[in-house]
Amino acid sequence: MRIVFLGPPGAGKGTQAALLSERFSTPSIATGDILRRHVAQGTPLGLQVGPIMDRGELVSDGLTIELISDRLAEPDARLGFILDGYPRTVNQAIALEELLAEIDAKLDRVIKFAVRTAQIVERLAGRRVCPACKTVYHFVTHPPIVEGVCDNDGAALLLREDDREEAIVRRLEVYGADTRPLYEFYLSRGLLIEIDAIGTTSEVTARLDAALEQ
């Protein structure tokens, strides 16, 4: 299946993408993760995008389209994928359609994760990530066994720079202006299914499964 997860930052897309990726044996592809890897490695691209990401702004369409085009060309993504965090603009969505058309393929589903702003702020402010294996925790809802330490590899968990309050506010503004128009875009193509993303992770997983079976 070729699936896109849409929804504001903190809606739980990455959490569900990791679970679904395992169940479906399909790669979960997050442009945010690809970009953060560049930042961590200090590549020229990373140096360019790091400050933009920290402020909660979007990286340019040209750059992200190139990244996703390269990633979707890799063998593991040929037959299916879960896209998390791409597309974020109508231009990116059009570019994705064009990329898929080249291999005579189409998206199967676009899942919109619906949450309220209060939940978003709570989830983002409590999010902690492992810098080594990228596992996502929340210090209240998904705490590690030992506080502040990754269960998998013992690395010290980090607060993302863009999960600080100022950047959260900016990311929500950017989401409303640039990404929300994608609801209309995918609705008009008959691909959009909205799920309630409030509730426990397993409740959301059950709703996601039902949406994918539709």
Task: Write out the residues near ligand AMP by the rule CB under 6 A.
Answer: 9, 30-32, 35, 52-53, 56-59, 64, 85-86, 88, 92, 162, 171
171 assigned to active site:
yes
What percentage of the chain's residues is helix, strand, coil (to nearest 5)? 50, 15, 35
Closest CA relative to residue 3, chosen from 83, 64, 91, 99 = 83
13 assigned to active site:
yes
Which of ligand ADP, ligand AMP, none does residue 35 bind to, with CB < 5 to 8 Å depending on kind?
ligand AMP
On whether the CB atoms of residues 7 and 13 are closer than 8 A, the answer is yes
In the complex with ligand AMP, which residue's Cβ is closer, 104 or 130? 130
Per DSSP (E only), the strands in 13-68 are: 28-30
Per rule CB under 6 A, is residue 10 in the interface with ligand ADP? yes
Which of ligand AMP, ligand ADP, none does residue 170 bind to, with CB < 5 to 8 Å depending on kind?
none
Per rule CB under 6 A, is residue 123 in the interface with ligand ADP? yes
**Which position among 2, 36, 71, 88 bears the catalytic label?**
88
Q: Report whether the peptide linkage leading into residue 143 is cis, meaning its omega lies within 30 degrees of zero.
A: no
